[in-house]
Amino acid sequence: MTFYSSPPAATEFDDAKPTLLVAWWITLFCTCLILLRLAGRYIRLEKLYPEDKITAVVLLPLYVRIACVHFVLLYGTNNAQFAFDLSPEEVHKKVTGSRLVLAGRVFYAATLWTLKLATLEFLGRIAGASMNKSSQKLIVLLRYTLAVSFVAVVISDLVECRPISHYWQVIPDPGPKCRQGFAQLLTMGLSSIILDVILIALPVPIILSTRIATKRKVLLVLLFAFGFLTVGITLYRIPQIIQRHGDQVVRSMWASVELLAATTVANLAAVGSFLRDSGAKKSKFRPGYDNGTGATASQRQMQVAASQWVGDERNREVDSGEWTDDIEPEVVVSSSSKNQKRHDQSCDVRGTSSSESRYSLVRPGQRASSQLPGVLEHNNPRMPSPVLLDSIRDFQRG
């Protein structure tokens, strides 16, 4: 039994307009999701993770693909039964549309595989945070698998028909292998399903090994299980396209739907963390706020610098993912802890005692009198305040 069949009936552009509108709407919606992720991440952290940058790259093949789809649906392809003789101008349009089909399929695969790579990099950060050696090795193996499978999809798109010029031949009929492109359809579909299942199953052992509530574990597993949505769409669209004789309008519509699902799944964890106000984020402090401690302007500047340094250190420690707010502590400082931190820092910058100064009468190595432990004896010497340092410099100049 062969998958190839006779060409479908020719479709007028008026009948293809709804599919074209849906394709453009999905492209714009995917763009909004990606930009929302990038803007939210930068506002919260003032930086982008590697997977965020990879997600931004998705916009390039996404828009090249929709440009190809636009003219494919406008001009039509050679995979159609023509009830009348075509004019030279119409033949030229069909040739152009058939060529753009090949390019559109390559950029369609590039969009999906880039989204998978972004998800894989996200899982790589999780594996790195969990110090799971086997998961880290599997991440490296999956990177090579992604590259090899993408090359296989491109090859299947270009080598099914020989000579290659028959891909865009309109008259006479070049044959079903050159018109329908089922080899690319099956290769890409099966590769996508296998990779999606692996990306869904990979984080489950990491989640189950954490010390969090069972209910939370179930929620996290269900979050990654949304990836089965793209698997289901792929399993449904392949037989539908084959039953419709490879009709390009149907094929473009289902490709757009799959892109919508894949983009949503790839950005779900990040956008969801923004909506829940969870995950890693940069600590924010108000420079002009002294919390009633009476700190001077220079002291407040030191407080702000120290607070920002602490926030950056905590951000580096919590470089895990959005969903790991129970696995890794969030970089979220409550108002009470912020006030306590400001109070402690204001106490730190009030200056040092006379025994700690370089001009102290107590020589280094001598123990202060036990009768004055609160004045002359410090276990943790503090740094002199900027005001005291300025006074010392003025004294030295004088």
CATH class of 13-276: mainly alpha
Mean pLDDT score, 228-236: 94
Report the 3 state secondary structure along 76-124. Answer: CCCCCECCCCCCHHHHHHHHHHHHHHHHHHHHHHHHHHHHHHHHHHHHH
CB-based contact 284:72 (threshold 8 Å): no
Q: Which pLDDT score, from 0 to 100, does residue 268 have?
A: 87
Mean pLDDT score, 133-143: 86
CB-based contact 230:189 (threshold 8 Å): no
Task: Using pLDDT thresholds of 50, 70 and 90, give the confidence band for residue 387.
Answer: low
Of 316 and 227, the one with more pLDDT: 227
Q: Which long-range contacts (CB under 8 A, 24 or more apart) does 230-233 make?
A: 230/192, 230/196, 230/258, 230/261, 230/262, 230/265, 231/193, 231/196, 231/197, 233/257, 233/258, 233/261
Of 220 and 355, the one with more pLDDT: 220
Mean pLDDT score, 138-161: 93
Mean pLDDT score, 43-62: 92
Across all residues in the chain, what is the average pLDDT? 77
Task: Using pLDDT thresholds of 50, 70 and 90, give the confidence band for residue 85.
Answer: confident
pLDDT tens per residue across span 124-135: 887 776 666 777
Q: Which pLDDT score, from 0 to 100, does residue 318 have?
A: 42
pLDDT at 144 over 80: yes
CB-based contact 190:231 (threshold 8 Å): no
Where in the chain are the domains? Answer: 13-276, 297-397
Tell me which range, 85-94, 109-118, 199-208, 278-287, is most confidently predicted by mean pLDDT.
109-118
pLDDT at 296 over 50: no
Lowest mean pLDDT among 10-14, 146-150, 352-356: 352-356
pLDDT at 324 over 60: no
pLDDT tens per residue across span 158-195: 999 988 999 999 988 888 889 889 999 999 999 999 99
pLDDT tens per residue across span 191-217: 999 999 999 998 888 777 777 778 877
- Residue 267 exposed, middle or buried by CB count within 10 Å (0-12, 13-18, 19+): buried
Sequence-ordered alpha helix ranges (H) in the chain: 13-45, 50-57, 59-75, 88-130, 133-159, 176-179, 182-201, 203-208, 214-225, 228-243, 248-276, 297-317, 335-348, 373-376, 386-397
Tell me which range, 98-112, 211-225, 321-335, 353-367, is most confidently predicted by mean pLDDT.
98-112
Q: Which pLDDT score, from 0 to 100, does residue 265 have?
A: 92
Q: Which pLDDT score, from 0 to 100, does residue 278 have?
A: 61
pLDDT at 302 over 80: no
